[in-house]
Amino acid sequence: MDSSWHFAWEEAHFLADPWLLGSEIDGFRWLNEQWHTTPPLSPESLPDYAGILISQSYQDHLHPQTLAQLRDDVPLLATEKAAKKLMRLFPGRRLMQIPHWSEKPPLQWQNLQWMAFAPPHRRDPVYYAVLIANADRKAIFYAPHGFHLSEADRIFLQDWSVQVLMTTLTEFALPAWMGGKVNPGLDNALELVGALRPRHLLNTHDEDKMMKGLVARLARVRRPDWAHLPAELPYRPTPDYAPYSFDF
């Protein structure tokens, strides 16, 4: 469902970026409001989970209406900007901030290590990626808005075996004064595959959502030809609600 996921890996069961209710609004309705085209699961019908990962601070990842209806007895695991927003919105919830990979030690939760990747600039839009790894250093690299790896990022990632890359294949570009390229699309996915050498690629954040507002009028969206993706992509299609199993 766009970029809402349920993970079950070893002993860990957690949600990622759940947006299951209503629309998402970026700032103001006149600026950008979006809706799912495929009805999401209800909060009551979700599989069991012990935590909730929030990778970005924007409403299509950090959706207050959804979070208010989910369990409040499980921790929220969040990147830096998302954590700051969650502290304001849900001051009573248990919050675990995912540190940048250069900070030691990484976050340890459910026998997994959690590390964040952030772009060098600090002005919006700022989109993060998250590395989730087990004790054998096998990892998932979750980058729903793509990610441009720095040389330091690449060197650090050489010590990890990325089994699954989760990223968008859709290019979503706005004028520079509105943030520029929000999703870098297929070219960046190819760049990440070349750098990380994952065994599997799952696309995420590619739903063709309903939109209205200024963003809808100015956005340039380019979707890949799903039937003719480059052969070097270890791609597995991700239909809504389909379970995926991987042998790590």
DSSP state string for 62-77: S-HHHHHHS-SSS-EE
- Calculate mean pLDDT across residues 4-9: 94
Question: Cβ distance 53 to 73 under 8 Å?
Answer: no
Considering the domain boundaries, does residue 246 fall inside one?
no
The per-residue DSSP string of 124-155 comes to SS---EEEEE-TTSEEEEEETT-----HHHHH
pLDDT above 80 for 96 = yes
Q: How many domains does the chain have?
A: 1
Q: Residue 136 maps to which CATH number? A: 3.60.15.10
Quote the pLDDT of residue 169.
Answer: 94
Question: Cβ distance 78 to 97 under 8 Å?
Answer: yes
pLDDT above 90 for 158 = yes
Q: Kindly provide the b/e burial profile for residues 29-56, where b requires at least 16 CB atoms within 10 angstroms of the residue's own CB.
A: eeebbbebeeebeebeeeeebebbbbbb
Give tens-digit pLDDT for 212-240.
888 778 778 889 888 889 988 898 777 66
Quote the pLDDT of residue 247.
Answer: 73
Considering the domain boundaries, does residue 247 fall inside one?
no
Considering the domain boundaries, does residue 46 fall inside one?
yes
Considering the domain boundaries, does residue 48 fall inside one?
yes
What confidence category does residue 143 fall into, taking pLDDT thresholds of 50, 70 and 90?
Answer: very high
Q: Is the peptide bond before 125 cis (omega within 30 degrees of 0)?
A: yes
pLDDT above 80 for 246 = no
- Calculate mean pLDDT across residues 129-151: 97
* DSSP designation for 43: G
Q: Residue 13 is part of which domain span?
A: 5-236
- Calculate mean pLDDT across residues 111-116: 97
Considering the domain boundaries, does residue 241 fall inside one?
no
Quote the pLDDT of residue 183.
Answer: 83
Q: Who contacts 95 (Cβ-Cβ below 8 Å, separation ≥6)? A: 75, 76, 78, 83, 86, 87
Q: How many CB atoms lie within 10 A of CB 206?
A: 20
pTM of the model: 0.94
What confidence category does residue 101 fall into, taking pLDDT thresholds of 50, 70 and 90?
Answer: very high
Distances (CA, A) of 232 to 111, 166, 190, 222, 237: 32, 15, 8, 20, 15
- Calculate mean pLDDT across residues 124-138: 92
Considering the domain boundaries, does residue 242 fall inside one?
no
User: What is the percentage of the chain residues whose pLDDT exceeds 70?
Assistant: 96
pLDDT above 70 for 124 = no
Quote the pLDDT of residue 95.
Answer: 98
Considering the domain boundaries, does residue 178 fall inside one?
yes
User: What is the percentage of the chain residues whose pLDDT exceeds 90?
Assistant: 64
Strands 171-173 and 161-167 come out as unpaired
Average pLDDT for the chain:
91
Quote the pLDDT of residue 123.
Answer: 67
Give tens-digit pLDDT for 23-76.
888 878 887 888 788 888 999 999 999 999 999 999 999 999 999 999 999 999
Considering the domain boundaries, does residue 231 fall inside one?
yes
Question: Can you read off the two tokens belonging to residue 103?
Answer: 């900070």
Total length of the chain: 248
215 forms beta bridges with none
Quote the pLDDT of residue 1.
Answer: 60
